[in-house]
Structure 1
């Protein structure tokens, strides 16, 4: 009885100790959560002022970590039921301490307003030395944030309940996003000095993608511009249309692997318009380099792709710019002007291409003049990059190694132990600009979540929003005028759905009743659909896959469209559905 009584007393004291310290730690973490948005907005508006906010966040995180890292807490983490909740709380506290104390605070101290302002172009030149000085602090910050994200991501959410479960979900998103952003900044500080010609002149081929006519990674490469960089000074020249660069190419410039030609034929290696039809920019970049060399004799050092939506984000930071004809191009009119109105104003494709080039040049000039705040420009670039609207490939192997693991590399989706990833790549089959009117709605739904036998469904709804009289009210250049077999006003979409590696196809159906073809590319099953959408009609494609897997999250990478409100990455959590009652 004395022994049992002593154990009860010790257990009660431990519970009180852990309960009090846990409540205090929770208060500190709640403060961090409430201060997070303030820190983000302050960082965008005034980096110097943000340092004081991050200092407070670091103090709160340090206190939470201290409260959840003693011996009593460690013993309590081994208890049934309550143990996993305490372990999750302690992990979030230690990861917060690492993120704010070891990563963001030193980084904020190093990136003062003066150092950030040094990153703004001046007189058409970027200070590459200022970028190089940030390499060391961003490297250590990236390492600390990556460790913090890994610790939180490794938490098993299955036994977690209520507030703790919700906190872990939010923390995983926050820490992953932060780690990716800091890592991108670090890679930029290492890449940009050499890519901007710090060690000698560089030339890059800039592809301006047109989302009004879909290709897998965005749109046709309708216009190309040569970008030159030397000692941080950057200029644009040698604008050419895709038609001009493709003229005379009767054969592919390189022999493509049979896996690629089975799905895409030889078009990506023969027509500049189709360069980004293959949804892997590490393949498209070298193709563009060789095609440009074959037609001009010039060998570029890399290839960059950008679309009008990315330009609209940049215009939000720089403010409106004047086009060669005197019209103002702004964030709110850039997309409809460049992807729709231009075809009504200029029936001649050559005039259209000149207009695209002029608009791109005007935005570029505003950037190089240093318009807009540095945080605003960085935020615009970050959003465009995250949405895969800016892609880059370098012929330099060491530079490409730094790009490879980033979103800018434009690689095929990779499935890992945590996340099953689809690729939903859309291509125009009308031979027109009708993609501007097609709205893709992509959703992911988990089936069974109660065991390692997982089932996952992808639904793609395609809607042609063009008016019923589109055949007669839209320009023939937009409708295609039936030249390639699609009736004016209708839209043909060729969709390639890449299934997660290691997952088996259960079913694939379409509401239109049309079938699909199957192929394989780099270990992924690829289903190809080709629905024809009359004006004001929709079709739905549903693909269900299954696997014995521990993956609890799902993603679908979708072709970036002209609609900035449609996120090119769709996500779903198996665990969240399981908590809601799905088994």
Structure 2
């Protein structure tokens, strides 16, 4: 049965209720009389509310029933709020020790009710017709009106959730008992998840109608990255296609081989600080537009290069064969003109390796890629696609930085900002120090299919004052021992760029977090480091060569005085779906 788009915030609210139950029960033990009784009553209401949330999350086929259940939910959450905010409770909140505990529980109960009444309820009430099936064409068109009508309530829900998050973040946890402090921290995390979800829904409701041509015909450039030849954002631009949208109708217009694009002696756009680091190459060749770790610049470069070939596009979308395999899990297998059956299980192997073993002519390879893209597109737009699986596939691809989007329209690009789809460089904040760990092929080959990267982060200590963060990058070469002679020249590169066949050269960059300085760095090849500055941020670059069966290492030690509890590295997505491109380390 079709699933409604609301289960994510609903499930989040359910987890919130479960945690606040623990807080109320804790206070029922330490408080007496009136407060203790009301605490138990509030716990009962929250328990009932939790059961209702589970009903909302699991069965939303009938909107009327969903609204009725939501009404019961808000009644119970409102009662819990009332029971923890009466004059006696408020007065007791001024007492030593127990007072801050009571105040914290009241604040969280209020937050629970605000989520129920200001987020879950309005989304359920206004989502008529917006099931997962709304993302699929009916009679060749996607109904853009369903998304447009949902935009305002979705924006209000997102604003409400953001306010709840600000309120719970402001709770002083210093005087709280350890169990309650933990519950408040978990509540903040869960509301943060809900804020992210509702914000994404609100942005999508505004963005999808114009992207689907609700305001007039649009052309989009689809880039399929090839992870067998690394670039910072994943892989080279292995193929491009033009997709047209008009009043919700989506058509596959044409395929552009990368051989159709011209190359230029200088960059077609100003690369700023990226220019010297990447030798201006991202703006000279279509293959290299994904070398800059900022998809806003990548999209602008790709659009400009396409325009110089007479193809005007208003946006650029990027994906890769791994993301394609996720989509195939929703569409089911598709047949290719070659006679192959493309499935979720064989897509990566077939598109990133086997095609090169089968066809030596690059034009034949491009034709194969084009036929695969067209077949999957047709399955998505005309086949019996599982809508829930499709949404899951798109969400997973976005989380793994394998689905990226840029729009030439400033308002649309602003909606994309601060989402994973924007493909922006990692930026640190007060709680997380973020690094960029990017991998680029230096061989001119498709040998990165055989490379297994691993990135780890380790804090040296968690005490106040200066401390270090150790970054370890391991590159393991799993190519056949006789790769130089057993693999086609197109895979090995055949020494065309000065790297002998069978050898894999990786050119990597590490974008250092703001407020960190490099203490030491080492390359197992024995070579040094280069780099530069991007927007005042230090970038270390290195070259690491590995032969078949060899493992190379890069070790970097960073020092900071900032009291930041977590570190996070954003790593180039590879051909291995098991390697999640975000690695973190928590201090303590």
Name the TM-score, length of structure 1 as normaliser: 0.86
2:465 maps to 1:456? no
Per-residue CA distance 1:219-252 (angstroms, 9 max, x = gap): 1101111111111111122312223313x53433
* Structure 2 unaligned regions, length at least 5: 1-28
Q: CA RMSD in A?
A: 3.3
Aligned to 2:289: 275
For 2:49 and 2:544, how far apart are their aligned partners in 1? 49
2:320 maps to 1:342? no
Name the CA shift for 1:157/1:437 in 2 (closer, same or farther; >3 Å): farther
2:258 maps to 1:242? yes
Aligned to 1:254: 269
- Shift, 1:519, TM fit: 0.9
On the 8 A contact 2:218/2:244 being kept in 1, the answer is yes
For 1:186 and 1:236, how far apart are their aligned partners in 2? 27
On the 8 A contact 2:130/2:147 being kept in 1, the answer is no
Residue range with higher mean Cα deviation, 276-285 or 170-179: 170-179
- Shift, 1:265, TM fit: 0.8
On the 8 A contact 1:494/1:530 being kept in 2, the answer is yes
Name the CA shift for 1:509/1:344 in 2 (closer, same or farther; >3 Å): same
Residue in structure 1 matching 2:320, options 302, 307, 332: 307
Aligned to 2:226: 210
On the 8 A contact 1:46/1:113 being kept in 2, the answer is no
Per-residue CA distance 1:271-305 (angstroms, 9 max, x = gap): 111001001111111111111122x1232212111
Name the CA shift for 1:527/1:318 in 2 (closer, same or farther; >3 Å): same
SS at match of 1:485: coil
1:118-517 to 2 correspondence within 5 Å? Answer: 118-154=134-170, 163-164=179-180, 166-168=182-184, 170-246=186-262, 248-257=263-272, 259-294=273-308, 296-369=309-382, 371-451=384-464, 453=466, 455-517=468-530
For 1:149 and 1:523, how far apart are their aligned partners in 2? 31
On the 8 A contact 1:119/1:131 being kept in 2, the answer is no
Aligned to 1:103: 119
For 2:115 and 2:300, how far apart are their aligned partners in 1? 38
- Shift, 1:121, TM fit: 0.8
SS at match of 1:134: helix
For 1:32 and 1:426, how far apart are their aligned partners in 2? 48
SS at match of 1:531: strand
* Structure 1 unaligned regions, length at least 5: 1-11, 578-583
On the 8 A contact 1:310/1:390 being kept in 2, the answer is yes
Residue range with higher mean Cα deviation, 277-286 or 542-551: 542-551
- Shift, 1:525, TM fit: 0.9
Name the CA shift for 1:538/1:126 in 2 (closer, same or farther; >3 Å): same
SS at match of 2:325: helix
SS at match of 2:260: helix
Residue range with higher mean Cα deviation, 265-274 or 234-243: 234-243
For 1:314 and 1:451, how far apart are their aligned partners in 2? 47
For 1:555 and 1:89, how far apart are their aligned partners in 2? 32
Name the CA shift for 1:30/1:267 in 2 (closer, same or farther; >3 Å): farther
For 1:318 and 1:356, how far apart are their aligned partners in 2? 18
Aligned to 2:540: 527
Residue range with higher mean Cα deviation, 90-99 or 372-381: 90-99
- Shift, 1:444, TM fit: 2.5
